[in-house]
């Protein structure tokens, strides 16, 4: 997982994508 070293460019890209995904997931799911 050296590609995703803490605060590297890849780390930031991955976290922004993940954040976007979970924001949309929370928005989309209503029971």
Partner 1 sequence: MTIRTYVKSTLLLALIAVSLGGLMLHLRIHPVSKNTSNFLPLLSGILSVIIVPLLFSSKKTISYGYVLNGFQVIVGTIAMAHFSVMNWPLPSSLESIVIKTTLPDIMVLWTKFFIGKALFDLELFGYDSGRHKVGLSYRYPNTGWWLVHFTAVSTVYVLSNWLWR
Shortest CB 12 distance to partner 1, Å: 15
Measured from the CB atom, the residue of 9 and 25 that comes closer to partner 1 is 25
State in Å, rounded, how far the first CA of the chain is from the last one.
36
Selected binder of partner 1 within 13, 16, 17, 19 (CB under 8 A): 19
Q: CA separation (Å) from 5 to 17, 24, 26, 27?
A: 16, 26, 27, 30
Examine residue 12 and tell whether it contacts partner 1 (CB under 8 A): no
If you search the block for the tokens 């799911």, which residue do you land on?
29
Q: Binding residues for partner 1, per CB under 8 A? A: 1, 19, 22-31
């Amino acid at each position: 997982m050296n590609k995703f070293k803490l605060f590297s460019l890849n780390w930031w890209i991955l976290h922004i994508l993940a954040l976007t995904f979970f924001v949309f997931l929370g928005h989309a799911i209503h029971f």
